[in-house]
Amino acid sequence: MDLKISIERLFEILPDSQVEGSTKNKDLKGVASLESARQGDLSFLGNPKYKNLVQSTNATLILLPEDYDGSPKDEQIYLRIKDPSKGLASVCSYLEKNLVTPPEMSIHPTAWLDKTAKVANGVTVGAFAFIGKNVQIEEYVSVGTHCHVGDKCSIGKNSYLHPGVKLLSRCDLGKNVILNAGVVIGSEGYGFDQVDGVHHKIPHLGKVVVEDDVEIGANTCIDRARFEETRIGSGTKIDNLVQIGHNVRIGKGCLIVAQVGISGSTQFEDGVVVGGQAGFAGHLKIGKGAKIAGQAGITKNVEAGAFLKGNPALPFHLSQRISILQKKLPELFNRFEGITGKE
C-alpha cells in the first residue's frame, strides 16, 4: 500500500511506545504485512504465530508487543507498544484521511431536496440523492450519491451515508452513524396472513431507530416494525449482508457478523456477539453477553453469558464433544461388529 507518513509523526501518534533502533529514512512509504513488507514500509506483529517473521522482514519500522524479545537490524526500528494491532489502527486512521478525499460541504445541483426538509450547516448531499418531506438532517452529515432519505426521517450529527443507501420513511438515525453502500433501513417487514389458501400482506406501520455510534455494513437490510419500532442499540457494529426482521431489538455494543438472519420480534440484550451465517427464529430473547458461533441455529431463548454452537445450537463444549464422538462412530461400529460377529 503506497502511503507516506514521517517517522516523527508516527511517534506523535503513538506517544507511549518504546523505541529501539534507528534509520536514515525520515518517511515511511507504505503499510504491509511482515512477509511482504519492503524497505520503507511499516509493519506489525499482531498475532504471536507470525513471530518468526519479525527477524526476516524487510520492514523499516515494526510495531511489536512490549514483551517481544529481539533486536532490530541495521536501518530498522522496533516500536514496542501495549497493543500493536490497536496502534496500527491509530496510524491507519490518520493515513485514511489522505487516502479518501472528504466530500465538500455542499449540496450537489442534481440532488433533490423537498422544500420542507431542514438541513443544518455543514451538510453534504451528493449527486442524484433524494431528500424527502419533513426530513431533519443535523450538522456535518454526509449523504452520498444516489442515496434516498424518505419522508419524516431524521439523521444525527456527524453521520455518514455511503453511496446508494436507502433510508425509507419515518426512520431515525442517531449521531456518528455509518451506513455503508447499499444499506436499506426501514424496508417493509415480511408478514402474511393466509386466508382460504391466499397470502395477504400484513401492513407494517412502524419505523426503525438506529442509536448513536452504530455502523452497518454494505447491503444489510433492517425492516421496519409492524407497530412501534425496530431498534439498533448504541455502539453496535453490524457486518455486510445481515437481515434484521421487523420489531427486532438489538442491545448496546453488540457485534453481528456477515450473513446473519434475525427473525421478527427477537430481542438481543447488550453485548451479544454473533458469528457469520447464524440464524435466529422469531420472538426469542438472547441474554446479555451471549456468544453465538457461526452457522448456529437458534430456536430457543439463550441465557446471559451462554456460548452456543451448532444447529440446533448446543452449549459450545458439548457441541465440540459431540463433533469429536461423531468422527469415532465408524470405529465404534467396527468394534461392535467384531464383538457380535456380525458382518
The one catalytic residue in 108, 204, 246, 317 is: 246
Under DSSP, is residue 18 helix (H, G, I), strand (E, B) or coil?
strand
d(CA 240, CA 219): 6
pLDDT at 331: 82
Q: What are phi and psi of 247, to 5 degrees?
A: 65, 10
Q: Is the peptide bond before 312 cis (omega within 30 degrees of 0)?
A: yes
d(CA 179, CA 171): 13
pLDDT at 167: 98
- Return the closest-CA partner of residue 301 out of 324, 275, 282, 328: 282
d(CA 77, CA 57): 12
Q: What are phi and psi of 326, to 5 degrees?
A: -60, -40
d(CA 233, CA 267): 11
Low-confidence residues in the chain, pLDDT < 50: none
- Return the closest-CA partner of residue 281 out of 299, 261, 268, 260: 299
On the CB side of 293, CA atoms within 13 Å amount to: 14
d(CA 118, CA 75): 57
DSSP assignment string, 188-204: PP--EEEETTEEEEPP-
This prediction's pTM: 0.85
DSSP assignment string, 41-58: EEEE--SGGGGGGTTT--
Contacts of 72 (CB under 8 A, 6+ apart): 20, 21, 62, 78
Q: What domains can you pick out in the chain, each with its CATH number? A: 2-99 (3.40.1390.10)
pLDDT at 98: 72
Find cell 453485548 and name the residue. 271
- Confirm whether 246 is a catalytic residue: yes
| Residues 184-198: tens digit of each pLDDT | 999 999 999 999 999
pLDDT at 1: 55
| Residue 213 φ/ψ region, left for φ over 0, alpha for ψ in the -120 to 50 degree band, beta for the rest | left
pLDDT at 341: 61
At 33, the amino acid letter reads S
